[in-house]
């Protein structure tokens, strides 16, 4: 038994800020102080508050140290672990309480409003040790299912819980399983797949679950295997997530060793095996039919549905595919019952949802909230608001398939149906906050550039339609757009929505449609006034020198790459607007702040 | 996909006999697996650092599939590169969180300094530059990686200094 545990975050964010080195240093220091048998150092998964990384939490009192540096380690070990005095100047402080109180992790605003179901073990257990997962009731749900429940009961429980797919579209999970069990009953192979090809830029929920609690996915897939009658599972995971891949490999190895995967699990006669398949960087492979084609080793192109994968999926056999976060809910539903899960959330969206908060927000990181929480609570209370005193402009959800939600919808309860109704979508959980310095036309263009790049090219509406929309947006941001272009965008968007083959194309117009709806004035400013109100679109900017402030130091003229600034020493300089390429070099170099952009 | 039309291979193939032996052993091992082509291509890219047409030809012959199929798969996925990578591989994250915090400007600066476009490699094979999708370190936005090193909370002004560090180390 150890009297204290030092938990060092090993999520990608904290590893990038140097947490791996901290673990070695803690071990070294603890040994040096002779505490080796009293204090354990544990590498955990993501704690969520990535902006404050590297994060170190000392239990049993859950003291939350933030932005820990290598030179802080000896102090924490000597003061806190040896002498029992919390090192208060290193403890995470919230702006709200002026840094006076030392709160434990769970009392901070960031964690207080969260409800952790999918993330319950993330940041709590060592993901590379199966015993710690088992200690948190891990694999108990699988045991219960195999020894006490019929496959139909399992499906019933999931159906009753109201769990909907967390990948974004929100299809009822139990329904999917039911179809895969009942539609084909020829005794042949069926498959269970996990979609861990998290591709939305700015979303890292699934990565954190895989890194922080990999066994939960394995357990849930085995449960589904039993429910639908499958003996083989595949996890399709992004190769860009090396830590997640490594921990999944370790987890699969340990589960096989313990007999929790493989032949005749719990002596029940049920056998289930899981293999990993690495994605290779194609966003479209997040679409279910494309993902299955990719597992088969082909170009990951989607195909028309029906037939749905429940009838003919991987290798033309019945297949279910669920996303990582969906899987992470399953064992808890089995253990605590459908009613427990259904008691959280809104009428049609049950349970919780994990969001990756990013962009212009103080507490960048991972949060899990009950469905029905408002955007305001997420952004202001949990996220700590927009930094640098800037004004909130929009929140983007659903990645390239979603839309921008303006401040006027700040109090809408977040659930699948509400987000769709206001022109965005739940998506997999990326939530990017934008402030007044972000141009919404530029953001729409950014997402369209992404879709153009990631369109697989199989169907015409997506391949050519998204390209045309991108070109129009590009024209607008360069000041060459007309009001007619805005109509063209609307028209094209409608066609693409109706005619594209898969979800990628059908939702590609959403970033444009939502910004056109809520930020129409900004588009008009670009095409009519030829101005970019957020001062982002380079082609619409003008740099001018304020005569009163210019001292004639010539620095701007010397730094101008196209030599379009004229003036002699100690005289006011001027910029030739015809030749200016709007690079901003003059403004960056002016020592007197005499240059403005408009 | 943007990778569908690869840039003309300006840099000649420099594969060794040893690499070819590794590749053939890899194919031997995986040949009978279901959906083996992707794992083989991933392994081949690990061996050579990229997938030149010479390597694709070996895979096609050994696996008895048409070269066009191998080429089709290699060009479909953005992880596969048909051009060589530099000794120092630079990736600038263009995920949404990084983009709204200005990673596009960092990429522009790197292009200007290295005189290459993203997806390309400098003629001396020292640096290659890629724009990548979210690396998941959104808390540190904007982020770029050089080899295994991660640079977060970047500003354009830091680019020159960081590049200089790698120019000075001949054996990284």
CATH number of the domain bearing residue A380: 3.10.20.600
Per DSSP bridges, beta strands A430-435 and A574-575 are unpaired
Contact status, residue A9 vs residue A47, Cβ threshold 8 Å = yes
CA dist., res. A332 & res. A407, Å (int)? 35
Q: Is residue B25 part of a domain?
A: yes
Q: Percentage of chain B surpassing pLDDT 90?
A: 59
A7 has which bridge partners? Answer: A42, A57
B 71-90 near A (Cβ less than 8 A)? 72-73, 76-80
Of the residues A505, A529, A553, which one is the last residue of a structural domain? Answer: A529
- Residues of the domain holding A181: 130-341
At residue A51 the predicted structure's pLDDT band, cuts being 50, 70 and 90, is confident
Q: Is the Cβ of A214 closer than 8 Å to some Cβ of chain B? A: no
In a domain, B81, yes or no: no
Name chain B contacts of A399, Cβ cutoff 8 Å: 96
Domain count, chain B: 2
Q: Is residue A70 part of a domain?
A: yes
> Which of B74, B136, B142, B148 is the best substitution to test chain A (most A C-beta atoms within 10 A)?
B136
CB atoms within 10 A of CB A581: 13
Question: Which of B56, B76, B96 is a domain's end point?
Answer: B76
Are A329 and A356 found together in one domain? no
Residues of chain B contacting A432 with CB distance shorter than 8 Å:
96-97, 100
Give me the phi and psi of A407, to 5 degrees please.
-60, -30
Chain-wide mean pLDDT for chain B? 87
Number of domains in chain A: 5
- Number of alpha carbons in the 13 Å side-chain half-sphere of residue A358: 35
Instruction: Kindly state whether B58 is in contact with chain A, defined as any CB-CB distance less than 8 angstroms.
Output: no
- Within 10 Å of residue B160's Cβ, how many Cβ atoms? 11
Q: Is residue B1 part of a domain?
A: no
Residues near A487 by beta carbon (within 8 Å), at least 6 away in sequence: none
Please check whether residue A240 touches B, CB under 8 A: yes
Short-list A41, A39, A50, A42, CA closest to A15: A50
Option in B37, B100, B152 nearest A360 (CB): B100
In chain A, the percentage of residues whose pLDDT exceeds 90 is 85
- CATH number at B129 reads 3.40.30.10
B44 touches chain A (CB under 8 A): no
pLDDT single digits (tens) A543-583: 999 999 999 999 999 988 888 999 999 999 999 998 888 88
The two three-digit tokens of residue B53, written as one number: 């047409």
> Is residue A488 domain-shared with residue A584, that is, in the same domain?
no
pLDDT > 80? residue B134: no
Query: Last residue of a domain, which of B76, B111, B146?
Result: B76
With 0-12 CB in 10 A as exposed, 13-18 as middle and 19+ as buried, what is A592?
Answer: middle
Residues of chain B by 3-state class (helix, strand, coil), percent to 5:
50, 10, 40
pLDDT surpassing 70 at residue B10:
no
* Residues of B whose CB is below 8 A from A356: 138
Does A394 map to a domain? yes
Q: What's the pLDDT score for residue A598?
A: 85
Residue B2 has pLDDT above 50, yes or no: no
Tokens for A30, please give them.
């603890």
pLDDT tens for residues A318-347? 999 999 999 999 999 999 999 999 999 999
**B31, part of any domain:** yes
- B5 touches A at CB < 8 Å: no
The SS3 call for residue A100 is: coil
Say whether both A219 and A307 belong to one domain: yes
Residues contacting residue A389 through CB under 8 Å, at least 6 positions apart: none
Q: What average pLDDT is seen over chain A? A: 94
Q: Which residue has the higher pLDDT, A551 or B136?
A: A551
Q: Per the CB < 8 Å rule, is B72 touching A299?
A: yes
As to burial, measured by CB atoms within 10 angstroms (0-12 exposed, 13-18 middle, 19+ buried), residue B167 is exposed
**Are A136 and A120 within 8 A, CB to CB?**
yes
Interface of A with B in 360-419 (CB under 8 A): 360, 364-365, 396, 399
B100, B148, B149, B155: which to substitute to probe chain A, counting the most A Cβ within 10 Å?
B100
Based on the domain organization, do A357 and A304 belong to the same domain? no
Per-residue confidence (pLDDT) for residue A87, from 0 to 100: 92
Worst-scoring range by mean pLDDT, A209-213, A563-567, A579-583, B7-11?
Answer: B7-11
Last residue of a domain, one of A305, A320, A341: A341
Tens of pLDDT along A275-292?
Answer: 999 998 899 999 999 999
Element (H, E) at A274: strand A270-279
Same domain assignment for residues A302 and A378: no
Angle between helices B53-63 and B37-48 (to 10 degrees): 140
* Residue A125 placed within a domain: no
Say yes or no: A282 contacts chain B, CB-CB below 8 A. Answer: yes
Whether B19 is in a domain gets the answer yes
Same domain as A316, residue A228: yes
Task: Report pTM.
Answer: 0.89
The CATH number covering residue A524 comes to 1.20.1440.230
- Residue that is written with structure tokens 């840094």 in the block: A99
What domain range includes position B140?
Answer: 88-167
Verify that A300 and A322 share a domain, yes or no: yes
Same domain, A218 and A308: yes
Lowest mean pLDDT among A107-111, A392-396, A411-415, A494-498: A107-111
**Is residue A122 a part of any domain in this protein?**
no
pLDDT of B4 > 50? The answer is no
- Closest-CA distance, B110 to chain A, in angstroms, reads 15
């Amino acid at each position: 038994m150890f009297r204290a545990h030092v938990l060092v975050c090993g999520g990608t964010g904290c590893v990038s800020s140097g947490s791996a080195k901290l673990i070695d240093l803690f071990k070294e220091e603890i040994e040096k102080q002779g505490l080796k048998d009293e204090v354990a150092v544990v590498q955990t998964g993501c704690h969520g508050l990535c902006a404050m990384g590297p994060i170190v939490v000392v239990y049993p009192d859950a003291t939350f140290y933030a932005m820990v540096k290598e030179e802080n380690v000896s102090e924490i070990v000597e003061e806190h672990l040896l002498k029992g005095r919390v090192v208060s100047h290193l403890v995470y402080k919230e702006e709200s309480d002026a840094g006076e109180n030392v709160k434990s992790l769970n009392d901070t605003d960031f964690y207080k409003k969260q409800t952790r179901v999918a993330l319950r073990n993330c940041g709590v257990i060592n993901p590379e040790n199966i015993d710690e997962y088992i200690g948190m009731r891990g694999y108990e749900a699988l045991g219960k299912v195999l020894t006490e429940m019929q496959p139909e009961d399992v499906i019933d429980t999931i159906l009753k819980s109201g769990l909907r797919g967390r990948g974004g579209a929100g299809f009822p999970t139990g329904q999917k399983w039911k179809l895969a069990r009942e539609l084909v009953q020829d005794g042949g192979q069926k498959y269970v797949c996990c979609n861990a090809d998290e591709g939305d830029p700015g979303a890292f929920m699934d990565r954190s679950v895989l890194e922080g609690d990999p066994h939960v996915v394995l357990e849930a897939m085995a449960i589904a295997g039993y429910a639908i009658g499958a003996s083989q599972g595949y996890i399709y995971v992004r190769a860009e997530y090396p830590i997640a891949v490594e921990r999944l490999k370790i987890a699969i190895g340990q589960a096989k060793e313990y007999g929790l995967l493989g032949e005749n699990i719990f002596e029940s006669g049920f056998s289930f095996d899981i293999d990993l398949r690495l994605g290779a960087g194609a966003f479209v492979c997040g679409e279910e039919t494309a993902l299955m084609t990719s597992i088969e080793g082909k170009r990951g192109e989607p195909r028309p549905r029906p037939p749905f994968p429940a009838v003919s999926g991987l290798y033309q056999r019945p297949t279910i595919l669920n996303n990582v976060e969906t899987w992470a809910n399953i064992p808890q539903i089995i253990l605590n019952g459908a009613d427990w899960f259904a008691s959280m959330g809104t009428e049609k969206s049950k349970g919780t949802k994990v969001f990756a908060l990013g962009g212009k927000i103080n507490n960048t990181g991972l949060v899990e909230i009950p469905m029905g929480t408002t955007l305001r609570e997420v952004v202001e209370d949990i996220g700590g608001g927009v930094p640098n005193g800037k004004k909130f402009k929009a929140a983007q959800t659903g990645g390239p398939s979603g839309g921008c939600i303006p401040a006027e919808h700040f109090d809408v309860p977040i659930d699948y149906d509400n987000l769709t109704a206001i022109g965005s979508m739940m998506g997999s959980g990326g939530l990017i906050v934008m402030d007044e310095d972000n141009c919404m036309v530029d953001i729409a263009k950014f997402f369209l550039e992404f879709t153009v790049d990631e369109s697989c090219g199989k169907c015409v509406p997506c391949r050519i339609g998204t390209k045309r929309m991108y070109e129009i947006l590009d024209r607008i941001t360069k000041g060459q757009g007309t009001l007619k272009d805005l109509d063209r965008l609307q028209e094209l968007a409608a066609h693409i929505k109706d005619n594209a083959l898969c979800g990628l194309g059908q939702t590609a117009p959403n970033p444009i449609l939502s910004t056109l709806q809520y930020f129409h004035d900004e588009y008009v400013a670009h095409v009519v006034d030829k101005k970019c109100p957020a001062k982002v679109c380079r082609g619409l900017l003008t740099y001018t020198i304020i005569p009163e402030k210019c001292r004639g130091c010539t620095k701007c003229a010397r730094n101008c790459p196209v030599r379009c600034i004229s003036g002699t020493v100690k005289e006011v300089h001027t910029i030739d607007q015809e030749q200016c390429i709007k690079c901003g070099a003059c403004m960056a170099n002016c020592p007197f702040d005499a240059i403005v952009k408009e | 996909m943007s990778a569908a039309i690869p840039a003309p291979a300006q840099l000649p193939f420099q594969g060794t006999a040893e690499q070819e032996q590794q590749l053939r052993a890899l194919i031997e091992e995986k040949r009978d697996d279901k959906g083996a082509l992707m794992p083989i291509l991933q392994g081949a890219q690990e061996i050579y650092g990229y997938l030149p047409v010479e390597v694709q030809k070996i895979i096609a012959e050994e696996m008895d599939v048409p070269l066009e199929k191998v080429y089709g798969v290699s060009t479909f996925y953005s992880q596969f590169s048909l051009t060589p990578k530099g000794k120092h591989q630079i990736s600038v994250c263009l995920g949404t969180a990084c983009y709204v915090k200005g990673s596009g400007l960092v990429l522009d600066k790197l292009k200007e300094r290295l005189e290459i476009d993203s997806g390309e490699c400098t003629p001396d094979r020292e640096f290659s530059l890629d724009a990548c999708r979210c690396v998941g370190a959104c808390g540190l936005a904007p982020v770029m990686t050089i080899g295994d090193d991660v640079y977060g909370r970047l500003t354009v002004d830091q680019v020159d200094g960081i590049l200089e560090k790698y120019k000075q180390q001949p054996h990284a």
